[in-house]
Amino acid sequence: MSPAEPAPRRGRPRSESADTRITDAALEVLLARGYDRFSVDEVAAQAGVAKTTLYRRWPTRDHLIVAVVARVQDEVLVEYTGDVRADLTRYLNEIADGLNRMRQAGRPASARKQSAGLVAEVVAAAARHADVGEAVGAMFARRNTLVHTLIEQAQESGELRRDVDPVVIFDQLAGALYYRLLITGRPLDAAYVDGLVTSTLNGASAQPVPVPEAKEEPR
């Protein structure tokens, strides 16, 4: 079980409706307030639960924030349809849209988008606290496995070469998104995603796009 997920407890069964209300409220508060002003008190009040109910599920606010980010990620479908380029482009565009939402969390719409925002705060919390780091690592490992499987299916169908490591392919794709978000602050838009997927898959494709031959200049 991922550390980002509430641990099962003995005694009275946990209410799934309470879990949903809490994560719904937490997402709303997180997007409105951002990381610094994220309040567990406000989440509990908005969800209509006691703070003790919330803390039984997630021991700290960072664990709750990780659970919310995991939920946002889980809303993005990972599916192989027979066109790996289209599938990865769609998936990465949805991830980029989610990162842009997190980038703007708690900030006015007019604010410049160069800030990494909430994502940088989660990364920092993961570095400061080992248990939060484990939760973040488990969240990404679970989601990444789904994309690795998609790439493996593309290899089995003959779209991609079998000698290329699916983990390396996805590292190149996801790593580039997070580098832009956390380091350069450059835009995460559809044009960038399309170019990123194309350049990455051209090196792994079973039938790479042919490079036109250079024309000889007249003597």
pTM, full prediction: 0.80
| Nearest 10 degrees: Cα torsion 97, 99, 101, 102 | 170
- CA 32 from centre of chain: 19
Place of tokens 């307030």: 33
CA dihedral 56, 58, 64, 69 (to 10 degrees): -120
Q: Which residues pair with 205 in a beta bridge?
A: 160
Structure tokens at 129: 């606290």
Q: How confident is the model at residue 5 (pLDDT cuts 50, 70, 90)?
A: low
Per-residue pLDDT tens digits for 38-47:
999 999 999 9
- Round to whole Å and give the CA distance between 92 and 20: 26
Dump pLDDT digits (tens) for 54-100.
Answer: 999 999 999 999 999 988 888 899 999 999 999 999 999 999 999 99
For residue 15, what are its two tokens? 């209410």
What pLDDT score does 11 carry?
A: 44
Residues 83-94 as b/e (b if ≥16 CB within 10 A, e otherwise) read ebbebbbbbbbb
- Averaged pLDDT of the chain: 86
Per-residue pLDDT averaged across 190-217, rounded? 73
CA distance 192 to 172: 14
Whether the pLDDT of residue 187 is over 80: the answer is yes
**Helical ranges in the chain per DSSP H:** 16-33, 40-47, 51-57, 61-74, 84-103, 118-128, 130-157, 166-179, 190-202
What is the mean predicted confidence (pLDDT) over 182-199?
Answer: 94
